[in-house]
Amino acid sequence: MTNKGHCLCGVVTWEFDTEPFYAFNCHCTMCQKAHGTAFGTYWFFKADQIRITGGDDLIVGYRSSDVLVRTSCDVCGSVVPYPSDDASIWIAPAGCHDDGRGSDYDIFIADNAPWHDLTGHLPRCDAYPEESGIPSVSFDPPGEPVEGVVRGSCLCGTVRYHVTKPMTVAHYCHCSRCRHGRAAAHASNGFTSLDGVTFLQGEDNLREYKVPDATFFTQVFCKTCSSPMPRLDEGRGVAIVPLGGLDDDPGIKPVDHIFVDSMAGWHEITGDLPCFPEGPG
């Protein structure tokens, strides 16, 4: 059966007819920043097993390492499938699919975010599984902390910001918009006051995409690397901060899983956080 995926705005589309030969939850720092959440889930295919079916002229790339050019939709910022440098393998973000293969491993767990509790029973690796033969990658540390603030940045470093006020709450959100926007199992969003985020550089490099029929949902991302960035919601007086973009421990962890009625069929919630069918209880 054909499995179809799409970005948040629906312009970039793709499909495949076979199961991926690997499925990994990647907790590396680069994936946290690229998706704005705790991990990215990736499916691996041979080049002839997956097809881009629409919007290929709106796919943009950013080289995040010597071995990888990450691609995304230029309209909405969602991560979309991309090839290896030799184009023999394609990697697709599972978050843009409602159903599919469950993950085989949690990988790069040494980079697991301090605000995310790693639970469940999947095998764990500090890099790619040895049998995969995929070369490891690394990300430069963000430097020394700044007293009294929580630092954040995009993957390419163009956008940098400080969270200067305490976050009041954080959620894992499984709604379809968050899954497609983050191209991941869920979003990991923290909330602070409207004046709680200060952009230090790169604010003019931000782009917004608002879902046409949404009351509030808007994805803010870096135009260069498409990393999700904080959104200042003046109407509600809050700042929504993708936790994956943070360079420091925010001192808060998500308290629940919300909109789990829209959860991807390939994902399993583990741990003991409360789950709500729709918004927080």
Give the mean model confidence (pLDDT) for residues 118-134.
Answer: 92
Quick one: pLDDT band at residue 246, thresholds 50, 70, 90? very high
Using 50, 70 and 90 to split pLDDT, how confident is the model at 138?
Answer: confident
Mean pLDDT, residues 73-87 taken together:
95
Domains and CATH numbers, the chain: 3-132 (3.90.1590.10), 150-262 (2.170.150.70)
Of 189, 195, 197, give the one whose Cα is nearest residue 172: 189
Helix (H, G, I), strand (E, B) or coil at 152: strand
- pLDDT for 163: 98
Cβ contacts of 239 within 8 Å, gap of 6 or more: 163, 191, 192, 193, 194, 195, 196, 197, 230, 231, 232, 233
Residue 90: band (very low, low, confident or very high) from pLDDT cuts 50, 70, 90: very high
The alpha carbon dihedral of 114, 155, 180, 97 has a sign of negative
Average pLDDT over every residue of 237-256: 97
Total-model pTM: 0.95
Instruction: Quote the CA–CA distance of 116 and 108 in Å, as a whole number.
Output: 14
> Which amino acid, 134?
I
Distance between CA atoms of 253 and 268, rounded to whole angstroms?
19
Report the pLDDT averaged over residues 140-155. Answer: 89
Instruction: Report pLDDT for 141.
Output: 75
For the residues 50-62, what does the mean pLDDT come to?
97
Looking at the predicted structure, is the pLDDT value of residue 136 above 90? no
Contacts of 213 (CB under 8 A, 6+ apart): none
Place of tokens 């990736």: 42
Question: DSSP string covering 215-275, please?
Answer: SS-EEEEETTT--B--EEETTTTEEEEEGGGBSS--S-----EE-GGG--TT----SS--B
Residue 210: band (very low, low, confident or very high) from pLDDT cuts 50, 70, 90: very high
CA dist 48 and 238 (Å) reads: 45
Residue 140 pLDDT: 75
Phi and psi torsions of 49, nearest 5°: -105, -5
Is the per-residue pLDDT at 9 higher than 80? yes
- Is the pLDDT confidence value at 206 over 80? yes
Quote the percentage of the chain above a pLDDT of 70.
Answer: 100
CA–CA gap between residue 42 and residue 36 (Å, rounded): 15
